[in-house]
Amino acid sequence: MTDSPLITKHTVVVPNSINMVSLLGPGDEHLAKIEESFDAEVHVRGNRITFHGDASEIALAERLLDEVVAILRTGQGVGVETIERIVSMLRQETTERPADVLSLNILSNRGRTIRPKTLNQKRYVDSIDKHTITFGIGPAGTGKTYLAMAKAVQALQTKAVTRIILTRPAVEAGERLGYLPGTLSEKIDPYLRPLYDALHDMIDPETIPKLLAAGTIEVAPLAYMRGRTLNDAFIILDEAQNTSPEQMKMFLTRLGFGSKIVVTGDVTQVDLPGGVKSGLKVVESILTGVEDVVFNRLTSHDVVRHRLVGKIVAAYDEFDARQDGAARSTTKERRQ
């Protein structure tokens, strides 16, 4: 015999300083999301919100209201996606407050503020602050590169470093780079374009050419890092899954005094030719436990693009897991 859930009723009084439309959303869309997310009925009258249902669910719903109120008090807007992210964090039962995660301002430019949007993103950003070398590993859309670049621009603006170096391997071009038309700059530009695009979100576009010309910001293929020692720099290696173990070692040993390195990549999206190991897959087994080096993993739950992207990533993860399981079963049967 199982215990039935404890049904209870509780009313929360929202402070008068909080705009109820901001709290409940236009057309009560936030309220609808809250009702959908918790096993409880919700009734609103003025600034009084009454919950009726499972006691544990009501407790979570009340915590959600506290977090939304805390975010609104910072002057930050709240949307349906904010409600979804708070619910997700509350159900993870972590010690971090969702409001602290979602209100952390990394960088502001032209009226736009860049913040972490999930708990893992906040931990990733904190790791960048605390460690000299940080690895951000996860699928597309989890903010690995974007947040790293925001931290790089922040470090430049606060004069923690004197330059930013952004690099990624031009694997798609392989040895055929010389056969592509145009100058060397024009040949490598398609592989570096995503880094330029992110820069344009964070720095006034008219100043970027000056910073590039002065060497304050450098965007270059990984091959250009060989033989250099990079001092007083914030260095980002993007698409690191497409490095060989030798290239990864070469890059990490470019670290100079006063510098910080962030390495980002997705180990499920390796474009290296057959037989070449991914340096990103190998490096964790080599550097785990080394002081001041940290590995952060982001998942489909941290995807902050269109919500369907997260579902697509999760579906592919499940498919890959099934394929791996089938392959192991086939191998076992053959051995028997």
Torsion of CA 322, 324, 330, 334, to 10 degrees: -160
Nearest CA among 111, 114, 84, 79 for reference residue 98: 84
Quote the pTM value: 0.80
Q: What is the pLDDT of residue 97?
A: 92
How do 233-237 and 260-265 pair as beta strands?
parallel
Distance CA 225, CA 237 (A): 10
Give Rg (Cα) of the chain: 24
Phi-psi sector, 22: left (phi>0), alpha (psi -120 to 50), beta? alpha
Q: How buried is 124 (Cβ within 10 angstroms: 0-12 exposed, 13-18 middle, 19+ buried)?
A: buried
Residue 281, C-beta contacts closer than 8 angstroms, at least 6 positions apart:
241, 267, 270
Distance CA 125, CA 118 (A): 11
Q: What is the pLDDT of residue 173?
A: 41
**Hey, which CATH number is domain 7-102, 3.30.1370.10, 1.10.10.10, 3.30.200.20, 3.30.450.20?**
3.30.1370.10
Write down the CATH superfamily of domain 117-305.
P-loop containing nucleotide triphosphate hydrolases (3.40.50.300)
Whole-number Cα distances in Å, 335 to 231, 323, 324, 327: 54, 19, 17, 13
Q: Are the beta carbons of 301 and 310 closer than 8 angstroms? A: yes
Distance CA 200, CA 118 (A): 23
100: its two tokens: 């602290």
First vs last C-alpha separation in the chain: 44
Going residue by residue through the chain (336 aa), what tens digit of pLDDT does each one get?
Answer: 455 567 889 999 999 999 999 999 999 999 999 999 998 899 999 999 999 999 999 999 999 999 999 999 998 889 998 999 999 899 987 788 999 999 999 988 877 889 999 999 999 999 999 999 999 999 988 999 999 999 999 999 999 999 999 998 876 544 344 444 555 455 446 767 788 888 888 999 899 889 989 999 998 889 889 999 999 999 999 999 999 999 999 999 999 999 999 999 999 889 888 888 999 999 999 999 999 999 999 998 888 766 677 678 778 888 988 887 777 777 666 666
Neighbouring C-alpha atoms within 13 Å toward the C-beta of 2 = 3
Alpha-carbon 288 to chain mean position: 21
193: its two tokens: 């374009």
Q: What is the pLDDT of residue 68?
A: 96
Amino acid symbol at 206: E
Distance CA 281, CA 268 (A): 10
| Tokens 């979804």 found at | 84
Q: What is the pLDDT of residue 301?
A: 83
Q: Which residues pair with 294 in a beta bridge?
A: 134
